[in-house]
Structure 1
Amino acid sequence: MVTVTQQHDPRHDARRWWALGALVASMLVLGFDMTILNVALPTMARDLGASTGEQQWMADAYVVVFAALMLPAGLLGDRFGRRRMLITGLGVFLAGSLAGALVDDVTPVIVARALMGVGGALVMPLAMAVLPSLFGPEERTRAVGAVSAASALGLPLGPILGGWLLDHFWWGSVFLVNVPMAAIGIAACVFLLPETRDPASPKVDAVSTALTAAGLSILIYAIIEAPGRGWGDPLVLGLFAASVVLIALLVVRERRSARPMLDLSLLAQRGFLLNTLAATLVMFVLSGLMFVLPPYLQAVLGNDTFATGVRMLPMMGGLLIASRGAQPLLAKFGARAVISAGLVTLAFAAILGSRTSVDDGYGFTALWLSIAGLGFGFAVVPAMSAALGALPRDRAGSGSGLLMTVRQVGGAIGIALLGSLLAGAYGDRLDTSGLPHGAADAASDSVVGAHVIAAQLGDRALTASANAAYLHGMDLVLMISGIAALVTALLAAALLPKPETSPAPAPTPEEDTAVAPTPADAGQ
């Protein structure tokens, strides 16, 4: 039986810091998995014969499902208990990881990644949703920074451990390693996290969930198919039109609902909207960068998988430094100045990276990666904290679900759009003249495939052409990312509210229902 304590405020409970540890463990699992697959993609492309488009789907299957289900996941947590749904999400994530380790073809890997996306959809928004209930405004930025840093810490650990596993075991080991990590997260949540819920939250709308999933999936599919078929291809145009119709139907349905699942009224709050858009742009750039960088480090520079992971550390180091240093800067200059400066730093790093040439060594890459990490951290942590701070506590689940959904949509579109831009530029520049038809197709699919074909044929000219073509595509992606970050920085500086005009809300303990965990709950 669950005991409800109306007068207890978790924000005055010393256990909230132990609870934060449970959330950190949960987010560590997601951050760990996000980059371990990126480093594994070149190896999986070689072992499974996956094209660039199939690699995009292996990355995007997780993100599309993640984005589509985060809104209902937040509501499920509000209604049935955020801790319970968080544990459920980690369990589903564990099952998807186990399935991914046991399959041996591209399609089952994509399915396993989608199952992991279901679990991740429950974990991400609920980990953030409990923060306003556990921490007051004066502590929330530090808590958001800790959770964000946990996710960031998983980013460098993923490539390094993943690279070591790929050097010693088969590619499925990068999925299998998630199993003990998820199990640790489950145990931490069971024993440390108090239960919170809002039984008055809207019900999960199956139709709206289906419209979200279908609209996003079709949009991502159209973006991935466009470089190969052509942007004016009838199928591609039809897919774009269908996605627009489905997303428009979703918006119309939610606007007419008395208790909408997609609470668009939250977007009317200027602070929430603009900070969400800033965080989304950062995810757009980060996801695209994490997709294009490993093949450059591995195929073009000739590093093995472990060395590739180690060479991504400068960006993660900058991200960790920024996530820890954001609080004093926020206190002195305010969120608008810090977010704008972070985006300008990110833009500078991306534009600097776009000057990478075939003759440049790793030192230049490490320089702009470090600067990019600082920009990411100083932009995303204050934006997330400010957006969450604009939410009333009784709408924490649905509001943070909306925030995370928009962020993950930005990430999915970043992988699809920037990956497609890379694929198109690479294919246009690659010289496959004189190659047999099958070899030319394999070389055109990815730079990893080109290196495999070049090694088989002893064709040094193909290797040089593939490296130059990939650098051309990567530089184009970085330039577009830098311009997008710069435009967003200018908009943030002009439109974000000044600190004194957007005071943090002062919710009362009664706005949320805190549920004291009982032995029966802890065993569930």
Structure 2
Amino acid sequence: MRAGWPVLAALMLATLAVTVDNTVLNVALPSISTDLNAGTSQLQWIVNAYSLLFGGLLLTGGSLADRLGRRRVLLGGLAAFAAASALVLVVHSGPELIALRALSGVAAAFLLPSTVALMYRAFEGPARATAIGIAGSVAALGFVIGPLLGGALLEFFSWQSVFLVNVPIAALALLLVRAVIPPDAERSGGPADLPGAVLSVLAMLGLVAALVDGPDHGWGSPLVVGPALGALVTGVVFVWWELRAAHPMLDVRLIGRRAVAGPGAAQGALMFAASGSLFLITQHLQILKGYSPIEAGVSSAPIAIGLIGAGPLFTWSARRLGAAGTAALGLLIAAAAMACLGLGIRHGYLPLAGGLLALGAGVRLGITVAALAVLDGLPAEAAGTGAALGDTFQEIGGALGVALLGSIYNVIYQSDLPSAAPAAARDSLRGALSLHDAALSAAARHAFTSGAQIALLACAGILAAVAVVARLTVSRDLDLTEAT
């Protein structure tokens, strides 16, 4: 293991660049909203453009890494990720930032699968298990560092700094990878399924577009119905194509397996809750409660504490309840956490801290079991696909969480405002407060809280339902010994 430390350090630095980027953005959303005059819908797209392209292209990135060489694809992904982050300096509008986030998502999709594959190649036996454990800790560390780093940067610099911080991290990782990881000795895999990748991304973009734009344009508007129908048609074509392709991006028959679909839904639902809740909570803290960015970052830390500190609970649950029971318990804890957030959002920070702490613990229990269950439900030769598939479930779940919970909030927010409220107030809470109308500001604050409350409580119900699914689909014989 000692000889492999430089390799592991290079791969973990590359992983850290992606995990920090995934979590640093939320605390910057209020500043972005003010500077770019971005409403709720644009903020949703700024978050989701990255997640959708990242999640939609992960399997393709893994396929290209197998075909072109994992080191080569990792180096290209790191260079593209650094360049995309640096381009924030020329961004002057919401649509430009959305496009830039999409580009970053593409780069991350080619970067991350290569780190996992190179880790498997560099380590064997017990050393591999140790390396995977360290990788998981680094991912959790990114979850902790992101909000704190973002808040600290925003105390002294503009919102662009939360993206520019990726540049030195990615550049250092690139130099380390070139120095310590040998060139690819052999390549494998068939040609990348680019049509499948494009179809999957288009289907998800259409669905998210309908969810995000529904509150602004009306659910019967052609601008909403069109993308929804497009998503349905494209999704059907994607399944048809994957069933007939010689080298499919994804064997959809595998997802149809009960032992894969159920745990996959659990992974997606937990990230749905985490991403959607943080999207709302960070805006609540900064815009409604007046927290500074660093205060909001620190106030979001309980979710990371719960994520890291739930190890003893996981060990106890694995031994007493088994795999299926532990997955269900994690989802139920997360459901209770979302209910606590929803009911407590009107009553100060303490209920929010408790809810975030419990949410982190629930995510740790549920996702750990669900990820192992997905791998267990696939043939041994499909282990690489299973790992990428788990990440895909989580990224798509996170994107849908921001889209759906954000849209539920937006519908309630707009309906609770006075009918004569100006367009700026309907666009966002920040817009309403900028008008300096005391009565309108009070109405907008109440509407924001009501919308966030209903969205969070709806998420609690979704998690409770998925807990039942996980209890019925996760194998009771799944061995959790290595995970504890």
In the superposition, the TM-score normalised over structure 1's length comes to 0.84
Who is 2:204 aligned against? 216
- Closer, same or farther: CA 371–136 of 1 in aligned 2, 3 Å: farther
Letter in 2 for 1:364: P
Pick which of 230-239 and 69-78 moved more. 230-239
Letter in 1 for 2:26: N
Give the distance between the partners of 1:425 and 1:181, measured in 2 at CA: 40
Who is 2:325 aligned against? 337
Give the distance between the partners of 1:140 and 1:405, measured in 2 at CA: 23
The 3-state SS of whatever aligns with 2:190 is: coil
1:376 to 349, 354, 363: 363
Does 2:114 align with 1:126? yes
State whether residues 340 and 354 of structure 2, in contact with CA within 8 Å, keep that contact through their aligned partners in structure 1.
no
Per the TM alignment, residue 273 of structure 1 is displaced from its structure 2 partner at its CA by 3.3
Who is 2:432 aligned against? 450
Who is 1:430 aligned against? 417
Please tell me whether Structure 1 or Structure 2 has the larger radius of gyration of its CA atoms. Answer: 1
Give the distance between the partners of 2:5 and 2:378, measured in 1 at CA: 21
Provide structure 2 residue ranges, at least 5 long, that are not aligned to the other structure.
none
- Closer, same or farther: CA 119–373 of 1 in aligned 2, 3 Å: same
Per the TM alignment, residue 282 of structure 1 is displaced from its structure 2 partner at its CA by 1.0
Letter in 1 for 2:447: A
Who is 1:400 aligned against? 387
Per the TM alignment, residue 128 of structure 1 is displaced from its structure 2 partner at its CA by 3.8
State whether residues 201 and 395 of structure 1, in contact with CA within 8 Å, keep that contact through their aligned partners in structure 2.
no
Letter in 2 for 1:443: A
Give the distance between the partners of 2:458 and 2:404, measured in 1 at CA: 11
Does 2:337 align with 1:349? yes
Per the TM alignment, residue 198 of structure 1 is displaced from its structure 2 partner at its CA by 7.7
1:256 to 220, 227, 244: 244
Pick which of 396-405 and 348-357 moved more. 396-405
Q: Percent identity?
A: 34
- Closer, same or farther: CA 328–81 of 1 in aligned 2, 3 Å: farther
Pick which of 25-34 and 339-348 moved more. 25-34
Provide structure 1 residue ranges, at least 5 long, that are not aligned to the other structure.
1-12, 505-524
Who is 1:363 aligned against? 350
- Closer, same or farther: CA 116–361 of 1 in aligned 2, 3 Å: same
Does 2:150 align with 1:162? yes
Listed one character per residue, the Cα deviations across residues 215-237 of structure 1 (whole Å, up to 9, x for unaligned) are 22222111111111222223322
Does 2:283 align with 1:291? no
- Closer, same or farther: CA 95–323 of 1 in aligned 2, 3 Å: farther
Matches within 5 A, 1:46-195: 46-130=34-118, 144-193=132-181
Per the TM alignment, residue 287 of structure 1 is displaced from its structure 2 partner at its CA by 1.4
The 3-state SS of whatever aligns with 1:258 is: coil
- Closer, same or farther: CA 178–327 of 1 in aligned 2, 3 Å: farther
Give the distance between the partners of 1:60 and 1:364, measured in 2 at CA: 28
- Closer, same or farther: CA 127–329 of 1 in aligned 2, 3 Å: farther
Per the TM alignment, residue 500 of structure 1 is displaced from its structure 2 partner at its CA by 5.7
1:464 to 438, 442, 448: 442
Q: Which has the higher contact order (CA 8 A, sep 6+)?
A: 1
Letter in 1 for 2:443: S
The 3-state SS of whatever aligns with 1:296 is: helix
Give the distance between the partners of 1:393 and 1:28, measured in 2 at CA: 28
Who is 2:458 aligned against? 480
- Closer, same or farther: CA 311–288 of 1 in aligned 2, 3 Å: same
In the superposition, the TM-score normalised over structure 2's length comes to 0.91
Does 2:191 align with 1:203? yes
* Count of residue pairs the alignment pairs up: 482
- Closer, same or farther: CA 118–363 of 1 in aligned 2, 3 Å: same
Q: CA RMSD in A?
A: 2.8
Does 2:412 align with 1:412? no
Give the distance between the partners of 2:371 and 2:6, measured in 1 at CA: 22
Pick which of 32-41 and 256-265 moved more. 256-265
